[in-house]
């Protein structure tokens, strides 16, 4: 089956131009929206879209200030939420199925808090993480890196300016531990370090600080009440971010958690068949699900 890809630019109410792509028949409803991570990275979820685009059209976009989307104004979590709402308006989608990865899972959660009536279903993929998960993550990343790699990463992070090759080296060192297989993880990280560019470090710092000042941890009771009927978590067992944090979140939200064995933070790379099967089941269920959800 041949799937058609379309793309365009949409202007937000504050004048930013946001670049988007859609795969599949965009006349069909409901539609899926993929929310990439970062913050500060361009969209990288092109490998997921074909897994389900025959079931429903799949939209994805570069968050403002990344990729081909303009930077305008001060970045904020609220602005990212409203960008998504305005894109749904532009795409004439009264509601959508959201699939958010990493930071995108947090963005999907905050969108559910602000616009629950516009979310038909939501899959939180490898995030969001709550509680003191960073301590476990730092320890696991340290275990997966040699002392020389750790030292080199610190050196690169401390440089006031980096060359192109230094930036690629930094990102490769920072990302290869995301995967369960270190050899393939290094290759994927090196490829990503050249493709997922440039990194908007300013956005990353500002949104990271805002997220720490107002973490999702304090909104979980409200989020549980506002989630749609079909809401799920999925994570890679070998993600350096501790699975226990996702398990705790699943309990607090009252939603199912699927664990993908032999996979890290980007499970569709290491276990594509398992992820594809899960996504297709989720999308089929989401397309047929009714609105409303028990909060018990």
Q: What is the pLDDT of residues 203-249, one digit of tens each?
A: 999 999 999 999 999 999 999 999 999 999 999 999 999 999 999 99
At residue 113, the pLDDT reads 98
pLDDT band of residue 290 (cuts 50, 70, 90) is very low
CA distances from 87 to 78, 81, 141, 198, 228 (A): 14, 10, 36, 23, 20
Q: What is the pLDDT of residues 32-70, one digit of tens each?
A: 999 999 999 999 999 999 999 999 999 999 999 999 999
At residue 277, the pLDDT reads 98
Q: What is the pLDDT of residues 159-181, one digit of tens each?
A: 999 999 999 999 999 999 999 99
Q: What is the pLDDT of residues 99-150, one digit of tens each?
A: 999 999 999 999 999 999 999 999 999 999 988 999 999 999 999 999 999 9
Asked whether the beta carbons of 232 and 256 are under 8 A apart, the reply is yes
For strands 257-260 and 119-125, give the pairing. unpaired
- DSSP for residue 91: T
> Using CA atoms, how far apart are residues 102 and 265, in angstroms rounded to an integer?
8
For strands 96-101 and 32-35, give the pairing. parallel
Kindly report the CA angle at 51 between 3 and 39, in degrees rounded to 5?
A: 105
Does the pLDDT of residue 295 top 50, yes or no?
no
- Write 89-95 long-range contacts (CB < 8 A, 24+): 90/10, 91/20, 91/22, 91/26, 91/31, 91/59, 93/29, 93/30, 93/31, 93/33, 93/118, 94/118, 95/30, 95/119, 95/120
- pTM score, two decimals? 0.95
pLDDT band of residue 31 (cuts 50, 70, 90) is very high
CA distances from 41 to 16, 85, 113 (A): 17, 20, 23
Which of 208, 227, 231 lies closest to 102 in space, CA to CA?
208
At residue 289, the pLDDT reads 52
Q: Which two tokens stand for residue 270?
A: 């290491």
């Amino acid at each position: 089956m041949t799937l058609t890809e379309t793309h365009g630019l949409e202007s937000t109410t504050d004048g930013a131009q946001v670049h988007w792509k859609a795969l599949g028949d965009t006349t069909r409803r409901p539609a899926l929206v993929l929310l990439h991570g970062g913050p500060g990275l361009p969209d990288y979820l092109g490998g997921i879209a074909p897994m389900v685009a025959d079931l429903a059209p799949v939209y994805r976009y570069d968050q403002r200030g990344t990729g081909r989307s303009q930077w305008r104004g001060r970045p904020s979590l609220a602005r990212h939420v409203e960008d998504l709402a305005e894109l749904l308006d532009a795409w004439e989608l009264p509601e959508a199925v959201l699939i958010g990865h990493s930071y995108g899972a947090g963005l999907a959660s905050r969108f559910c808090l602000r616009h629950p009536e516009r979310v038909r279903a939501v899959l939180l993929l490898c995030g969001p993480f709550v509680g003191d998960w960073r301590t476990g993550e730092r320890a696991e990343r340290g275990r997966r890196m040699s002392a020389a790699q750790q030292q080199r990463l610190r050196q690169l992070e401390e440089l006031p300016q980096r060359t192109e090759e230094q930036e690629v080296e930094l990102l490769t060192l920072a990302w290869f531990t995301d995967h369960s297989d270190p050899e393939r993880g290094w290759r994927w990280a090196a490829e990503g370090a050249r493709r997922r560019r440039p990194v908007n470090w300013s956005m990353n710092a500002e949104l990271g600080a805002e997220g720490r000042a107002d973490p999702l941890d304090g909104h979980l009771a409200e989020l549980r009440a506002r989630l749609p009927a079909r809401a799920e978590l999925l994570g890679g067992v070998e993600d350096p971010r501790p699975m226990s944090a996702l398990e705790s979140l699943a309990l607090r939200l009252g939603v199912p958690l699927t664990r993908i064995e032999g996979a890290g933070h980007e499970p569709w790379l290491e276990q594509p068949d398992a992820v594809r099967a899960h996504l297709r089941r989720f999308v089929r269920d989401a397309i047929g699900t009714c609105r409303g959800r028990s909060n018990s």
